[in-house]
């Protein structure tokens, strides 16, 4: 059997689907079904919640899985991408898959895939994400989980996770992203994501962009499904508890909503008003499970409250003392969400931005959204001590070059520094940020993962 390091190396050798050098393969769910069948169809041994969307699906999945685990259900969580270790994507009750199990199951999946290719049942070896999804499904079956919360990787209709028969399908906020793969309009992207819906199934979502609303409605119209609007779990302004002090620069989401006619106190460690939508989706799913009670989950308000309170989803407006704020905003919609959160910071607090992104993202749009908030030449005295530090993302073929990042800043006539690597970027940011200031790092999940590792290990 392969060692863990050998398994990870072989997995990455399959090539990341979105890498510029990756072949533009036409994905077929039948290929993933064949692979799963060769492993005994592990995904059919437990009920699943399938979550698709552009932004917020990971936070929704993390919150939901934490609630379900708090109710006593043995809960699987599958997410992507990871911040630092690939094991983070595959969890049971908050614990990532052990290295030994990862290596063992990778070996099993890889051998099954090779046999399928040798028997000419598959035209080629499965992709990175297909193999990882097969590992996750198999591990969850071995662990005899009660329920799995699955985050779609890309799109929905052709995503490897979409071979499950979801108990509930969830659509989070949809915006433009991955246009090369999903389509160049919100309507086309929504149609791809709505591919996780099932005839006579259950959909949980929220009102959002008009084009997305219309496309979801059209997709659902012929399926005779039960559609649930999670808007009832969005707090009113009067329901929000305004804390005067916080251990982080941004307040926790702390408010009260009605859950089956009873008060439920939300106290989430995930800050930002946008998280209220993700929490609402999770609560709507939990309430749907409570009403059906098909699997006898112990869904009680104190347990739900504990699950929300103990949600762990790092890199999402995460504060690492003394002054580092991390957020994985990786597309224009995420940048706008982050911009709204930044407005909650003290206006007179000096800010340093560490930024990088992948070159298949809309660099100009993201910089137009974020860079003006850190422009020391704007004439605003509150911004006089602000800085922008740009750095490459290491070991990532999709990373934007520092020269391209600098060019984007120059097009806006906003000054920016360039660092040769992330260690230097963090050191430079710490050196130039005045006492009492804050360093905000964003632009890519991979940037945040690397910086988080550097900061935590320091």
pLDDT per residue over 97-126, tens digit each? 999 999 999 999 999 999 999 999 999 999
Q: Is the pLDDT of residue 179 over 60?
A: no
The candidate with the shortest Cα–Cα distance to 18, out of 159, 196, 174, is: 159
| DSSP conformational letter for 332 | H
Q: What is the pLDDT of residues 292-329, one digit of tens each?
A: 767 778 899 999 999 999 999 999 999 999 999 999 99
Q: Which of 276, 309, 342 is the last residue of a domain?
A: 309
Mean pLDDT computed over 23-28? 62
Report the number of distinct structural domains present in the chain.
2
- Domain identity same for 370 and 288: no
Lowest mean pLDDT among 120-129, 177-186, 235-244, 437-446: 177-186
Residue 246: per-residue pLDDT: 61
Q: What is the pLDDT of residues 133-149, one digit of tens each?
A: 999 999 999 999 999 99
Mean pLDDT computed over 353-373? 94
Residue 28: per-residue pLDDT: 83
Top pLDDT among 178 and 291 is at 291
Strand-pair category, 168-171 with 48-52: parallel
- Domain identity same for 299 and 325: no
Structural domain boundaries enclosing 177? 4-309
- Domain identity same for 217 and 325: no
Average pLDDT, the chain: 92
Residue 247: per-residue pLDDT: 67
Q: Rounded to an integer, what distance in angstroms lies between the CA atom of residue 365 and that of residue 335?
A: 9
Residue 53: per-residue pLDDT: 94
Q: What is the pTM of this model?
A: 0.94
Q: What is the pLDDT of residues 384-432, one digit of tens each?
A: 999 999 999 988 888 999 999 999 999 999 999 999 999 999 999 999 9
- Domain identity same for 73 and 214: yes
406: tokens are 């600098």
Lowest mean pLDDT among 8-17, 205-214, 412-421: 8-17
- Domain identity same for 413 and 444: yes
Residue 180: per-residue pLDDT: 56
- Domain identity same for 303 and 328: no
Q: Rounded to an integer, what distance in angstroms lies between the CA atom of residue 373 and that of residue 364?
A: 15
User: What is the CATH number for 111?
Assistant: 3.40.1190.10
Mean pLDDT computed over 60-70? 98
Q: Rounded to an integer, what distance in angstroms lies between the CA atom of residue 445 and that of residue 457?
A: 18
What SS3 class is residue 171? strand
User: What is the CATH number for 401?
Assistant: 3.90.190.20
The candidate with the shortest Cα–Cα distance to 54, out of 231, 227, 185, 199, is: 185
Share of residues in the chain with pLDDT > 70 (%): 94
Q: Is the pLDDT of residue 22 over 60?
A: no
Residue 14: per-residue pLDDT: 86
- Domain identity same for 357 and 374: yes
Q: How many CB atoms lie within 10 A of CB 88?
A: 17
Residue 26: per-residue pLDDT: 61
| DSSP conformational letter for 54 | S
Q: Is the pLDDT of residue 243 over 70?
A: no
Top pLDDT among 49 and 250 is at 49
């Amino acid at each position: 059997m392969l060692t863990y390091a050998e398994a990870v190396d072989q997995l990455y050798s399959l090539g990341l689907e979105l890498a510029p050098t990756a072949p533009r393969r036409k994905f077929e769910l039948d290929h993933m079904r064949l692979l799963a069948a060769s492993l005994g169809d592990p995904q059919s041994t437990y009920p699943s919640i399938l979550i698709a969307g552009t932004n917020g699906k990971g936070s929704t999945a993390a919150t939901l899985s934490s609630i379900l685990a708090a109710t006593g259900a043995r809960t699987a969580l599958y997410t992507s991408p990871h911040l630092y270790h690939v094991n983070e994507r595959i969890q049971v009750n908050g614990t990532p898959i052990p290295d030994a199990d990862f290596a063992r199951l990778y070996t099993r999946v890889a051998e099954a895939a090779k046999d399928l290719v040798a028997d000419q049942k598959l035209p080629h070896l499965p992709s990175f994400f297909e193999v990882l999804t097969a590992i996750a499904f198999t591990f969850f079956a071995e662990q005899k989980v009660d329920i799995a919360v699955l985050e779609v990787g890309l799109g929905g209709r052709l995503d490897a996770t979409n071979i499950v028969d979801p108990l509930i399908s969830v659509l989070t906020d949809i915006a433009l992203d991955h246009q090369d793969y999903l389509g160049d309009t919100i309507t086309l992207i929504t149609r791809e994501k709505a591919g996780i819906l099932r005839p006579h199934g259950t959909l949980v979502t929220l009102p959002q962009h008009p084009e997305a609303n219309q496309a979801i409605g059209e997709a659902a119209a012929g399926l005779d499904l039960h559609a649930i609007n999670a808007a009832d779990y969005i707090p009113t302004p009067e329901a929000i508890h305004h804390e005067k002090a916080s251990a982080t620069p941004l307040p926790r989401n702390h408010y009260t909503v009605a859950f089956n006619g009873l008060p439920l106190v939300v106290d989430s460690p995930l800050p930002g008003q946008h998280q209220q939508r993700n929490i609402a989706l999770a609560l709507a799913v939990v309430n749907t499970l409570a009403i059906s009670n098909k699997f006898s989950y112990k869904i009680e308000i104190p347990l739900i409250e504990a699950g929300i309170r103990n949600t762990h989803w790092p890199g999402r407006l995460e504060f690492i003392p003394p002054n580092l704020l991390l957020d994985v905003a990786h597309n224009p919609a995420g940048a706008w969400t982050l911009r709204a959160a930044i407005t909650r910071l003290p206006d007179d607090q000096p800010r340093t931005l560490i930024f990088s992104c992948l070159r298949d993202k809309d660099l100009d749009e993201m910089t137009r959204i974020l860079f003006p908030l850190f422009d020391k030449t704007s004439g605003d005295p509150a911004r006089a001590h602000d800085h922008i530090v740009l750095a490459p993302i290491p070991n990532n073929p999709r990373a934007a070059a520092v020269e391209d990042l600098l060019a984007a800043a120059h097009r806006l006539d906003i000054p920016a520094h360039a660092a040769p690597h992330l260690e230097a970027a963090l050191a430079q940011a710490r050196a130039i940020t005045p006492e009492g200031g804050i360093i905000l790092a964003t632009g890519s999940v991979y940037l945040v993962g690397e910086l988080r590792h550097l900061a935590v290990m320091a």
